[in-house]
């Protein structure tokens, strides 16, 4: 019993403190990869009432592939300081229906953590209309650390990183400094 309580405390504290968790859902249900296991995805979340809450699958929100109500998911929590794995745990996936008291409490917590919402205060109406609210509740003990490397190819995305500076930029910056 003590071991279970310690695992539960570790899961809660690590997940609360991490702004990002890695989640691997069950199988994909549509598209060319239907039936295959969903890849691990980094997702922002909020810990509330004993579970991790995720909002997504709507325009401008994070995708939640493979997270279907009634399925299991594996959550990996990283260290906020070093970025390394702290703990992995299995979760039961449930979806909260818009307008219910549980949904209202959950979106109240999520709204405070959502950065750069394009619609400001209207975000709650958009979430109710276009998004899914998923709750990941721990089901038991933590998972053992994996053997070997977990290196994987990144998931294909349209997002880009910063591009190289134009070749003329250093000359332009040096001219400004000489004028001063």
Domain residue limits, the chain: 2-179
Residue 92 has a pLDDT of 95
Q: Which of 76-80, 105-109, 173-177 has the lowest mean pLDDT?
A: 173-177
Mapped onto helix, strand or coil, the DSSP state of residue 25 is coil
For residue 32, pLDDT over 60 is answered with no
For residue 46, pLDDT over 90 is answered with yes
Residue 107 has a pLDDT of 93
Distances (CA, A) of 162 to 62, 158, 165, 166: 20, 13, 9, 12
Distance CA 60, CA 71 (A): 25
For residue 160, pLDDT over 60 is answered with yes
What number is the average pLDDT over the span 10-37?
Answer: 77
Q: Considering only residues 118 and 87, tell me which one the structure prediction assigns the higher pLDDT.
A: 87
For residue 30, pLDDT over 80 is answered with no
User: 19 Cβ partners below 8 Å, 6+ apart?
Assistant: 44, 80
Q: Which CATH class is domain 2-179?
A: mainly beta
For residue 170, pLDDT over 80 is answered with no
């Amino acid at each position: 019993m003590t071991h279970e309580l310690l695992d539960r405390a570790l899961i809660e504290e690590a997940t609360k403190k991490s702004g990002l968790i890695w989640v691997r859902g069950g199988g994909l249900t549509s598209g060319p990869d239907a039936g295959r296991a969903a890849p691990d995805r980094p997702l922002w979340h909020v810990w509330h009432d004993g579970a991790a809450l995720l909002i997504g699958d709507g325009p401008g929100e994070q995708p939640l592939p493979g997270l279907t109500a009634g399925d299991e998911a594996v959550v990996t929590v990283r260290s906020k300081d070093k970025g390394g794995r702290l703990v992995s745990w299995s979760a039961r996936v449930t979806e909260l229906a818009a307008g219910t008291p549980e949904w209202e409490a959950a979106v109240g917590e999520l709204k405070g953590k959502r950065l750069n919402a394009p619609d400001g205060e209207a975000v709650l109406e958009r979430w109710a209309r276009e998004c899914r609210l998923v709750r990941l509740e721990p089901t038991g003990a933590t998972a053992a650390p994996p053997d070997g490397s977990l290196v994987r190819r990144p998931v294909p995305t349209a997002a880009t990183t910063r591009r190289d500076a134009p070749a003329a930029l250093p000359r332009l910056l040096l001219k400004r400094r000489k004028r001063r």
